[in-house]
Amino acid sequence: MIDAAPITSVMRALADPTRRAVFERVVCSDEITVVELTRGSGVTQGAISQHLKALKQAGLVAERPEGRKVYYRAQPEGLEPLVDWMSHYGVFWRDRFANLKTLLKEIDP
């Protein structure tokens, strides 16, 4: 059985559309600051910081302080619990769809 705690953490972090958008911007950047993430987002700097905190707790981003700035970068390995979970259930659904395809061919040759 797959451990649900890490999966739940990642899913909760990515469930919020604004947080997902923040994560996508971090993924598309080598490193990015809160100020850069706030620009053009329509979200306050405080809200961006809270979203980054949730992403960090889920293991999806890492931070690197440098002077007064903190740079954020994506942690691809943070998605591993979700990928493992999807792979596990992907096998389940592929088998079910293969069985359905066979059944439909038997019903309507």
User: Residue 22: pLDDT band by 50, 70, 90 thresholds?
Assistant: very high
- Residue-wise pLDDT for 24-51, tens only, equals 999 999 999 999 999 988 999 999 999 9
Q: Which residue carries 């809160």 as its tokens?
A: 34
| 8 has a pLDDT exceeding 60 | yes
What is the percent of the chain where pLDDT is above 70? Answer: 95
What is the torsion angle, in degrees rounded to the nearest 10, for the CA atoms of residue 7, residue 13, residue 16 and residue 20?
-100
User: Residue 2: pLDDT band by 50, 70, 90 thresholds?
Assistant: low
Q: What is the DSSP string of 17-69?
A: HHHHHHHHHHHTSSSEEHHHHHTTTSS-HHHHHHHHHHHHHTTSEEEEEETTE
Taking residues 83-90, what's their average pLDDT? 84
